[in-house]
Amino acid sequence: MNYKISHPTNVVECEIDLPASKSISNRLIIIQALCKEKFSITNLSNSEDTKSLQKALKDTTNTIDIGDAGTSFRFLTAYLSSLVGSRFILTGSNRMKERPIKELVDALLKLGVEIKYLDKIGFPPLAISGSDIKENKVTIDGKISSQFISALLLIAPTLKNGIKLKISSKIVSKPYIIMTLKLMGEFGIFHTWQENTIEIKPQKYIAKDYDIEADWSAASFWYEIAALSRSCNIILNGLSKNSIQGDRKVIELFKNLGVQTKFKNGSTILTKKKENIISKEINLINTPDLYQPFKCTLFSKNLTTKFLGLQTLKNKETNRIKAVEKELLKLNTTKKITTYKDHRMAMSFAPLCLKYDTLQINDVDVVNKSYPNFWNDFKKGGFIIKPLTH
C-alpha cells in the first residue's frame, strides 16, 4: 500500500510511546536461549526482525528462513554453530542472499565449525553443523559489521574454552559491541578488552528479569520531525537518559539544528529554537543508522556537510547512500518516494512533507521491520494520511 501524507500546520504537538529497542531485544533473546535458567523479558520489541528471531529459535524444522532480518541472520549463524550435533539450513530473502556473511563464517570455520555455502560463496544460504567448539583464538575484521563480532561474543561464554577475539582494522558501529558486552555483563558475564583483543572465558549466564528501554533509532525520526517543524512540543516515552544505545547521539546531532532535548519525569521532551550550525564533517562510523534521517533533514534545510564512516550502508536492506540520493531528487518533481524494502527509507522521508507539502510514500508496510506503529504515531503528530489503493 502507498500513502499520501501531509501536515496542515507544521506545528507538531504529541505524546508518543516509542517502540522497544530492537537491538537490545535481539541480543536478549539470544542470551535467553543460551541461559540454563529461565527469565522473563518485558517490553520486548514487536518488530518483524525480533518476531522472526523468536520464531526461528522455536522452529522444529531443519530449514530456517529469516526473511530480511539481517541481525537475526548473523546472530543465528553463530548460535546454531554452537548447538552440538545439530544440522540447519539458514536462509533468507533475496536481498539477504546479497548481504555478505563471509567474515563471520570464516571466523567460525577457524573455530572448528562445519559451515558450507549452498549458493554463492560468501553469502547466504548456509548449511550449519553445530560443533563442540574447542578452539578459542580467532581474528575478525572490524570494518565489515559489528554484528559479526557481537554474534561471536554472545556465544563465547558457553564455549568450552571461551573466546579470545582479535579485531583487525578500525571497528564500525562500536557502540553496538559495547552494548552487547554491557548486556552480557548484566547477566553475569565478565570480559576483558585490551587494545584490539576481547577475551571471554567459559562462564554461565545468570538469569535475571529484564525490562527493555525504548529505541533511540526510532526516536531519530521524531528528532527529524522536530527539526523540520515550525514549532513543536513532542513528548517521547520510554527512552533512557543513560542509554546503552549508541544512537543516543541523535541528541547531539540535532541540537545543532535547533532541536532541544529535556528529560523530565521519565519522558524525553523535544522543543525547537532557531539554530542551524553544521559541522563541515560528520563521522557516523559509530551510528550509521542516523544517516538517513539526518541527511534528509539537512537536504530540506539546504545545508550540507561531508559525511564520513558510511561504509556499511551499502550492505543494508538497500544501498542506503544511493537510495537516499535518488529519492531526494524526486522532492522537486514527482514527490513519489520509493522505499526499496527499507524501513528507514519510509520513516526518514515521511517527515519531509513538512517542507515539501504532500508526499507519496510507497510500500508503507516496510516500517513493520522495526517500528510497526509508526504510521499510527505519525497521525498523533497531526499528520494526515490518505491511503492509495492503486
Q: Could you list the pLDDT tens digit for every one of the 390 residues in the chain?
A: 999 999 999 999 999 999 999 999 999 999 999 999 999 999 999 999 999 999 999 988 889 999 988 899 999 999 999 999 999 999 999 989 999 999 999 999 999 999 999 999 999 999 999 999 999 999 999 988 899 999 999 999 999 999 999 999 888 899 999 999 999 999 999 999 999 999 999 999 999 999 999 999 999 999 999 999 999 999 999 999 999 999 999 999 999 999 999 999 989 999 998 877 888 999 999 999 999 999 999 999 999 999 999 998 887 888 999 999 999 999 989 999 999 999 999 999 999 999 999 999 999 999 999 999 999 999 999 999 999 976
Q: How far apart are CA 244 and CA 258, in angstroms?
A: 24
pLDDT at 47: 93
Domains (range + CATH), the chain: 2-19+214-388 (3.65.10.10), 22-210 (3.65.10.10)
What's the pLDDT at 390? 60
Query: For residue 100, with 0-12 CB atoms within 10 Å meaning exposed, 13-18 middle and 19 or more buried, which class applies?
Result: middle
Q: Is 17 noted as a catalytic residue in this protein?
A: no
**Residue 169 confidence (pLDDT):** 84
Q: Which residues contact 160 (CB under 8 A, 6 or more apart)?
A: 132, 133, 134, 136, 202
Q: At what angle do helices 48-58 and 22-34 cross, to 10 degrees?
A: 10
Main-chain dihedrals φ then ψ at residue 330, nearest 5 degrees? -80, -10
State the Cα–Cα distance between residues 53 and 276, nearest whole angstrom. 41
β-strand partners of 140: 167
Identify residue 232 by its one-letter amino acid code. Answer: C
Q: Which of 247, 289, 342, 377 is catalytic?
A: 289
CA dist 45 and 252 (Å) reads 25
